[in-house]
Amino acid sequence: MGYPDQRFDVNLSILFTELPLLERPAAAAAAGFTAVELWWPWIETPTPPQAELDALKKALDDAGTQLVGLNFYAGQLPGPDRGALSVPGEESDRFRANIEVAADFAASVGCTALNALYGNRVEGADPQVQDALALENLVLAARAADRVGAILLVETLNKPESPLYPLVSAPAAIEVIDKVNAATGLGNAKFLLDLYHLSMNGEDLSQVIKAYAAKTGHVQIADNPGRGAPGTGTLPLERLLDELKDAGYPGRVGLEYKPGDRPSADSFDWLPVSARAAR
């Protein structure tokens, strides 16, 4: 398989996790990558000590890697929790406390995409109340992202793995994105198009690309079944990425797959080293 025309980055929250966080940027660089992304690394707190933020920045800088995507605080990931911004009470408060921290860190490392995971439906909470809270918090996040020259990403997950997550179709995420952009007037809310999650939902991936490439701010891939590297499943990822390019998507493709029972560095044999460096 070959992907000569794509710009790839590697997600250090699902790959290279056999290493401590601060060693992962150097490992990614040793594998040939110059761009990386992260879920919020401090799952226990939305407001880590400045020394920990500084240490991550130094690790990225020392490795010569560019952080191109960062999640806002989203609870315990990986795990059953999916997002915080629409969960009434403490979790929503934690998300709000994280907004400026995440935006300022993104600015410090030149990161231009911030991903805000919607929250799970909560037993006893009115879904309309949760959606109103989500919109309020997404508006705050979009404004913070705009302040530091970043876009805000909204992501579809998949119902089999995240049954309480409400955004389990591309149209559902696009509806939220449109509401955020209408509320802010900034136009910086974009779709995080994850081909694995969409395929798990049984969506027509080619149709999603055709319909929403213009609203897409970032793309992530993993094969299906198994969420492994391209070539381990049955998704025609090379063709789908060509369709994205043809539809006008100019951005990066994040590798967000599980390496399997091997070191992460051994899971990139499908991708030539020459295609791993950002261009």
The residues annotated with a catalytic role in the active site are 155, 256
Token couple for 116: 């805000």
Whole-angstrom distance, CA of residue 8 vs CA of residue 2: 12
Q: Which residues of 7-31 are buried (b: 16+ CB within 10 A; e: fewer)?
A: bbbbbbbbbbeebebbebbbbbbeb
For residue 233, give the nearest of 208, 257, 261, 265 by alpha carbon. 257
Residue 179 to residue 177: CA distance in whole angstroms: 5
Q: What is the DSSP string of 142-177?
A: HHHHHHTT-EEEEE---TTT-TT-S--SHHHHHHHH
- Minimal CA–CA distance to 102: which of 87, 83, 115? 115
Q: What are phi and psi of 53, to 5 degrees?
A: -65, -45
Asked if residue 99 lies in contact with residue 144, where contact means CB atoms within 8 angstroms, the answer is yes
Q: b or e along 236-270 (b: 16 or more beta carbons within 10 Å of the residue's beta carbon)? A: ebeebbebbeeeebebbbbbbbbbeeeebbebbeb
Cβ-proximal residues to 33 (8 Å cutoff; 6+ apart), any chain: 8, 9, 10, 65, 276, 277
N- to C-terminal Cα separation, the chain: 20
Backbone angles phi, psi at 205, to 5 degrees: -65, -40
